[in-house]
Structure 1
Amino acid sequence: MEHVYDALIVGCGIAGLSCAIRLKETGCSVVVITKADTLLETNTRYAQGGVVSACPDDSAELLGEDIIRAGGGYNRRDAVEIFAREAPELVQNFLVDRVGAKLVKTAEGTLHYTGEAAHSVRRVAHDNDRTGKTLQQALLARAQALGIPLVTGRTAVDIITNDHHSDDVQEVFADREVMGLYVLDNASGTVETWCAHAVVLATGGGGNLFHHTTNPALATGDGISMAHRAGAETIHMEFVQFHPTCFFHSDIKRFLISEALRGEGGRIVDHRGRPFMKEYSPLADLAPRDVVSRAIYDRMARSGRECMFLDLSTYYSGRESIRERFPTIYETCLQGGVDISCEPIPIVPAAHYLCGGVKADLFGRASVKNLYALGEVACTGLHGANRLASTSLLEGVFWGLRAADDIASREQAIKLSRLEALREWEAPSSSEEVDPLLVDQDMKLIQLTMWNYAGIIRTERGLRRADADLAYHTHRIMKFYRQARVNRRILELRNAVVSASLIVKGALRNKASAGCHHRMS
């Protein structure tokens, strides 16, 4: 067989690359695929603020308390404990020393730390406002130096399982196992069978299921939908975190204004320049993201305004100039006609991070054998009902390495004869070209449905409307998929409607407001 690996990793962000690097260093055969045309197009790249790191003023107990407080107590306690105890050291030991990432340092040569909302101490290491891109580039360089195949333009179609995709009738009676993926070559339109003893989903979240998001367009809930179809459990899907400060501009979309601006003194103000966050929380501008997002949403609704503002220039307390401290944000906003060094930034809340996902244990193992889930696609229970800022990058590294160690330590591999019995992917007997306008229209319907009825404020009536509308969309999209010539866009649409439905059904089941799931009735 042409494609057989110890591990097949879907996604080349911080979680997938960390896992791949560790696997390769232990002697495993590993390949990383991404549906994007470039290796840099990931959620990781767009992470601005920083990464939680070990620092002298911190402790595992204090970090754990902050994570649980932000998560509303919905966190998995042992996941929080092991993360708080072991993960922060990886910033220096793995990312800086081993991978070679260049983060900002003090004059004394130690990592520089900034503060962010809901953190008790300044513990966030960074490269100004381009931390994710810096880490991504360093990880890619390390992976390429190790000779890890990093394959762009490949979209995962479906997870292959023994009981569903094998010609051996005995497999129906065996426990379900993952044996690989059907993989689409975006350019040629052909679907190949790629086999692996472990499949690792590191596909990111589903921000693009919503009308307003900070995520890149590729965040369509692919891994969650594939895992769900393969029979894996998903949990906490209702906990979609909205970032309170996305740049509000007619031409510049999806641009995040980092929480680090508020960590450096920035304050959220109304159209008259008046700060208002103290009316909503004693932590004011440094309240958890769900609190700040609802406050802005409420103030917009009450004032009839399309946006609020983040004033950094009046309140900035950093040692560098605003342009030096936040170069990416400064340049991007300036392109939009806003000089953040002397005027406030127009902002709106936007879908940012999925705290739920594929249920994964302390080693990233999903509920189906040989399947792993890492980073935003996974739900280890670390974040609970609301993610503490700047924990996501570190979560990707931590569980990426733990999953790699678990995969490398396994003694049992799938016998080649079982892999050879797997069926090739079957294309529709009569397939038609996909009209991109129809795909765009259906995706927009999903996004508007989710934004209007499953967004920052939710009601029983709205969620039931969303559930009914998505059920109708699902039936039509699945029929369309079965008749269409497969391509990346139709696969994304199929994944989006499945993941959106899981979010809405989770929100309907959970009657209590918690964290970023806020029910009005």
Structure 2
Amino acid sequence: MITCDVLVLGGGIAGCSAALRAAELGADVVVVAKDSLGESNTAYAQGGIIGMPPPDAHDSAELLASDVEAAGAGLCKPEAVALLAEQGPILCREFLWKQVGVDFDHTGALEPEPTAEAAHSARRIWHVKDATGRAIQTALTAKVRAHPRIRIFESHSLVDLLTVPHHSRDPRRVYDPIQVWGAYGLAPDGQVRMCLARRTILATGGLGYLYLHTSNPASATGDGLAAAYRASARIVNCEYVQFHPTTLYVPGRPRTLLTEALRGEGAHLVNGAGERFMSKYAPEGLELAPRDVVSRAIFQEMAATGEPCMYLDLEPLKARLDLEARFPTVLATCRKAGLEPLAQPIPVVPAAHYFCGGVAVDLDGRASLPGLFAVGEVSCTGVHGANRLASSSLLEGLVWGYRAGEACATESRDTALPDPDSLEAWKPVPPGPEPDPLLIEQDWTSIRTTLWNYAGIVRTRDRLLRGRGDMGYLYHRIEAFYRAAPLSRSLLELRNGILCARLIFKAALQNPESRGCHYRLD
């Protein structure tokens, strides 16, 4: 058994920021990573993070807040947006740049040089070429590894949150309110470990892998969301799944994100005939309209033309940008796929990118269950509303991670851990054969195809009803599978994935209003 003041489940920008802040304030911190520390959605973010604008820029916290709320389609939480707009750029400068040492692209005066992105009223995006997330993650990971008050456990999968009364040996505790005291994790040796913590922070990321086309890695299976739901935490806004308009389309290969900054700098979307089409769908915003608008435009143009993809034309950028220097990741990715992006438009399709819903939290990341916090994509702070503004997710993870770390360090000083002997150890199933990987793969194919077809970019009641029914049947089959087989990472992910799929269908059916990235054709 492991004990600590603060348990952080996840190691992206939100989890690392929380761990560092809590440790700085004297807390004994444990960080649990599903893969190696730093292998997270953060590392795949290309475009950038909202930073401090130059002194002479026509920008302000109020203007940033206005942009966030406009993208969120009237569903943002005003106090959360104000917090992000006021504190986020300051933390980006003082914590990420100065303290952590992220080497943002800068001018000769060594001030970070911002770029533009869709739906932003000013150039305020700090970046490291087109691999900003990787640079931030690398710097944060190094700081976390070096901190003497942080212990790291890698290649551990979250099994479930540890709660009382659910995991109490005393049946009389059933009358007590639910309290979170850590988590159970599956270690690389196949054993389930109990980690007893005064405060627990979920920073497990999103659920993009539930969709057939996604910019997320295969590890984005909704583990934290599912665990929070099973523990009875409040979950909100599950219908709002944002699709990124431009991922590289190569038949038979996983989709790869093509940064929003390409369109921010002036790249055009064209169809197979080389014609710009955004004027038909977003005459005012064109390529820089909000992501849900651009994604639907591409989807509709594909349907109208019968083409399997649209194209991103970099020709307008060539005269004023050194594309080899500014977008090396994009160019290398295309060339690896056998494409020459400087000589031909890049084939693109929309893909599931970011989950705007999640565990409902307050301004410090505090969830509805005592002892539990959630930060980053697994949480719902209210910042994103019905649709996320470009480059705001890294900033949200930074702000809420930092604040949650601070709150957890403070609260843990006056919190006594329960007696370990009063809690149940994890009860393994009897030894048996390992789960058949073919069965798991087939179930994942069903989940991913059903969500893409019935709860994707465009939705209808009939499609959602069909998908909910299919997922309900599959859920019961997977639960029986889970309870009879030895634990494995793949089985845990499948169990979490089907539960999250049901949450998306339920929420989408309950909301008949088209808003943001939840678009009901009917």
**Class of the TM-score when normalised by the shorter of the 2 chains:** over 0.9
- Separation (CA, whole Å) in 2 of partners of 1:297 and 1:137: 35
Unaligned regions of 5+ residues in structure 1, if any? Answer: none
Q: Deviation string for 1:106-142 (max 9, x for gaps)?
A: 1222111110000000100000110000000000111
**Conservation of the 8 A alpha-carbon contact between 1:129 and 1:325:** yes
Cα distance, 1:429 vs structure 2: 3.2
Say whether residues 1:210 and 2:215 are aligned partners: no
The match for 2:348 is 347
Instruction: State how 1:446-461 maps to structure 2 within 5 Å.
Output: 446-461=447-462
**Conservation of the 8 A alpha-carbon contact between 1:323 and 1:341:** no
Identity %: 47
- Separation (CA, whole Å) in 1 of partners of 2:476 and 2:489: 19
CA RMSD in angstroms, aligned pairs only: 1.2
**Conservation of the 8 A alpha-carbon contact between 1:266 and 1:310:** yes
Partner SS state of residue 482, structure 1: helix
Q: Which moved more, 1:15-24 or 1:54-63?
A: 54-63
Cα distance, 1:252 vs structure 2: 3.9
Q: Deviation string for 1:35-54 (max 9, x for gaps)?
A: 21x22321000000000011
Instruction: State how 1:106-505 maps to structure 2 within 5 Å.
Output: 106-147=107-148, 148-185=150-187, 187-281=188-282, 282-312=284-314, 314-316=315-317, 319-410=320-411, 413-429=414-430, 431-505=432-506
- Separation (CA, whole Å) in 1 of partners of 2:291 and 2:47: 14
The match for 1:21 is 20
Q: Deviation string for 1:470-503 (max 9, x for gaps)?
A: 0001000000000011000000000000011101
- Separation (CA, whole Å) in 2 of partners of 1:474 and 1:309: 38
- Separation (CA, whole Å) in 1 of partners of 2:217 and 2:117: 23
- Separation (CA, whole Å) in 2 of partners of 1:141 and 1:335: 29
**Conservation of the 8 A alpha-carbon contact between 2:432 and 2:486:** yes
Cα distance, 1:432 vs structure 2: 3.3
- Separation (CA, whole Å) in 1 of partners of 2:450 and 2:78: 34
Cα distance, 1:254 vs structure 2: 2.8
Q: Deviation string for 1:236-276 (max 9, x for gaps)?
A: 00000000001001354131000000011101100011111
**Conservation of the 8 A alpha-carbon contact between 1:216 and 1:254:** no
2:97 maps to a residue whose letter is: V
**Conservation of the 8 A alpha-carbon contact between 2:430 and 2:486:** no
- Separation (CA, whole Å) in 2 of partners of 1:458 and 1:59: 37
- Separation (CA, whole Å) in 2 of partners of 1:430 and 1:190: 12
Partner SS state of residue 256, structure 2: coil
Cα distance, 1:319 vs structure 2: 4.8
**Conservation of the 8 A alpha-carbon contact between 2:23 and 2:29:** yes
Cα distance, 1:341 vs structure 2: 1.7
Partner SS state of residue 87, structure 1: helix
**Conservation of the 8 A alpha-carbon contact between 2:5 and 2:412:** no
TM-score, normalising length: structure 2:
0.97
Q: Which moved more, 1:148-157 or 1:211-220?
A: 148-157
- Separation (CA, whole Å) in 2 of partners of 1:183 and 1:284: 47
The match for 2:39 is 41
Q: Which moved more, 1:141-150 or 1:282-291?
A: 141-150
Cα distance, 1:386 vs structure 2: 0.3
The match for 2:81 is 80
Partner SS state of residue 501, structure 1: helix
Q: Deviation string for 1:50-78 (max 9, x for gaps)?
A: 00011132101100000000000100111
**Conservation of the 8 A alpha-carbon contact between 2:21 and 2:406:** yes
The match for 2:50 is 52
- Separation (CA, whole Å) in 1 of partners of 2:249 and 2:417: 54
Partner SS state of residue 21, structure 2: helix
